[in-house]
């Protein structure tokens, strides 16, 4: 008798997991996505007694790792620590993408979100978003910002800000955020949309100034910092999200079991404190809700990328 891949996956769901699980992180160790993946992996190992192997598969703005998981067996033993970059941005930059954001994955669970913050060099004479916009309009093209690469979330956050406010700033792409922050601290860059975890130590030291947060609501641990939207750029939003996805055709029973475990892990106070210490907020969404978030982000960012005429480097 010949069983379909889906039928075999359903039959194996009852005893899942009975061996090690590979959690692919498509970016370098030490970044926010990697940190979240390692926390989730550690807790899954503790709860299940099965090793969660963190596999950092780098390259092509996350596409290499994401493609690897899209083409893996849908048995629940190869998962992707996904982000807005892998699930809603990278593929839109490619003329012939190797995988499809929606078709090739089974969303498991949203895990966390990381709002991007508008930060400026302390010497810049702008102490609010409105003052920053006025300064940028008075000096078109003279204010430089770094991003972690063309088409990255940090790039698009600034590009969308430029569109919505009518300012013109200059983009300088880097291979990662750390070097960009170094150049921002030295004054070579004047501003950036950075993750809170990367920027906050330098804000506390007085070398950078945080003008606003890109999320819809104020960040829990920085309630004194306004959002960009409430600072006059109505409707603006710039927030990274991180979640777990499996290959398409993974048995619903496995997806449901994974989701329940990840949800329980994220609810732990210890995990939430570890997230907050990195400038990351815990989040949760059902597989169905997560699928809707992915679809909405695909529509949003594909249009932005088309409007800006961006292509993969």
pTM of the entire predicted model: 0.84
The total domain count for the chain is 2
Give pLDDT, residue 149: 79
Q: What integer is the mean pLDDT of 118-132?
A: 98
Percentage of the chain modeled with pLDDT above 90: 71
Q: How confident is the model at residue 1 (pLDDT cuts 50, 70, 90)?
A: very low
Q: How confident is the model at residue 4 (pLDDT cuts 50, 70, 90)?
A: low
Vertex 118: Cα angle to 206 and 302 (nearest 5): 155
Residue 149 sits in the same domain as residue 182: yes
Instruction: Tell me, yes or no, whether 58 lies in a domain.
Output: yes
The structure tokens 């007694």 sit at 49
Q: What integer is the mean pLDDT of 103-118?
A: 95
Alpha helices for 166-286 (secondary structure H): 177-186, 196-204, 252-266, 269-277
Structure tokens at 13: 């769901």
Q: What integer is the mean pLDDT of 277-282?
A: 91
Q: Are strands 78-83 and 239-247 parallel, antiparallel or unpaired?
A: antiparallel
Give pLDDT, residue 2: 44
Residue 213 sits in the same domain as residue 256: no
Give pLDDT, residue 13: 74
Give pLDDT, residue 7: 54
The structure tokens 């430029």 sit at 162
Which CATH number do you get for residue 259? 3.40.190.150
Q: What integer is the mean pLDDT of 171-193?
A: 91
Structure tokens at 238: 């710039």
Q: Are 125 and 269 contacting, i.e. CB atoms less than 8 angstroms apart?
A: no
Give pLDDT, residue 109: 97
Q: What integer is the mean pLDDT of 92-121?
A: 90
Residue 109 sits in the same domain as residue 123: no
- Residue range of the domain that includes 270: 5-113+240-308
Listed residue (110, 19, 29, 22) closest to 68, CA to CA: 22
Q: How confident is the model at residue 313 (pLDDT cuts 50, 70, 90)?
A: low
Give pLDDT, residue 112: 96
Q: Are 90 and 151 contacting, i.e. CB atoms less than 8 angstroms apart?
A: yes
The structure tokens 């609010």 sit at 128
Instruction: End-to-end CA distance of the chain: give it in Å, rounded.
Output: 48
Over the stretch 140-158, which tens digit does the pLDDT of each residue have? 999 999 998 788 889 999 9
- Last residue of one domain, picked from the residues 180, 214, 231: 231
Give pLDDT, residue 55: 97
Residue 176 sits in the same domain as residue 246: no
Residue 182 sits in the same domain as residue 220: yes
Q: What integer is the mean pLDDT of 44-56?
A: 96
Over the stretch 60-102, which tens digit does the pLDDT of each residue have? 778 889 999 999 999 999 999 999 888 888 878 877 788 888 8
Q: What integer is the mean pLDDT of 41-54?
A: 97
Q: Are 171 and 158 contacting, i.e. CB atoms less than 8 angstroms apart?
A: yes
Give pLDDT, residue 10: 53
Instruction: Tell me, yes or no, whether 264 lies in a domain.
Output: yes
Report the mean per-residue pLDDT for the chain.
91
Which CATH number do you get for residue 170? 3.40.190.10
Residue 222 sits in the same domain as residue 120: yes
Give pLDDT, residue 62: 83
Listed residue (236, 254, 235) closest to 246, CA to CA: 254
Over the stretch 183-233, which tens digit does the pLDDT of each residue have? 999 999 999 999 898 899 999 999 999 999 999 999 989 999 999 999 999
Residue 106 sits in the same domain as residue 136: no
Instruction: Tell me, yes or no, whether 313 lies in a domain.
Output: no
């Amino acid at each position: 008798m010949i069983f379909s891949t889906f039928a075999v996956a359903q039959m194996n769901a009852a005893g899942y997991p009975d061996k090690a699980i590979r959690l692919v992180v498509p970016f370098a160790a030490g970044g926010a996505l990697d940190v979240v993946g390692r926390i989730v992996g550690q807790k899954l190992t503790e709860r299940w007694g099965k090793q969660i192997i963190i596999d950092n598969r780098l390259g092509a703005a996350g596409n290499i790792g994401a493609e690897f998981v899209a083409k893996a067996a849908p048995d629940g033993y190869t998962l992707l620590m996904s982000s807005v970059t892998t699930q809603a941005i990278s593929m839109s930059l490619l003329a012939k993408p190797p995988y499809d954001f929606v078709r090739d994955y089974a969303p498991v669970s949203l895990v966390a979100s990381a709002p991007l913050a508008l930060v400026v060099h302390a010497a810049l004479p702008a102490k609010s978003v409105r003052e920053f916009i006025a300064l940028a309009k008075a000096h078109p093209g003279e204010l430089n910002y770094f991003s972690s690469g063309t088409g990255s979330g940090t790039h698009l956050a600034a590009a969308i800000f430029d569109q919505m406010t009518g300012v013109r700033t200059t983009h300088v792409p880097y291979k990662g955020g750390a070097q960009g922050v170094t150049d921002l601290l030295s004054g070579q860059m004047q501003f950036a949309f950075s993750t809170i975890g990367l920027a906050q130590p330098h804000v506390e030291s007085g070398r950078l100034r945080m003008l606003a947060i890109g999320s819809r609501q104020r960040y829990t641990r920085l309630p004194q910092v306004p959002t960009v939207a409430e600072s006059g750029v109505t409707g603006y939003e710039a927030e990274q999200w991180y979640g777990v996805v499996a290959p398409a055709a993974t048995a619903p029973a496995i997806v449901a079991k994974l989701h329940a475990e990840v949800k329980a892990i994220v609810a732990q106070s210890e995990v939430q404190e570890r997230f907050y210490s990195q400038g990351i907020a815990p989040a949760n969404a059902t597989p169905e809700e997560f699928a809707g978030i992915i679809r909405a982000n695909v529509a949003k960012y594909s249009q932005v990328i088309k409007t800006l005429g961006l292509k993969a480097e």
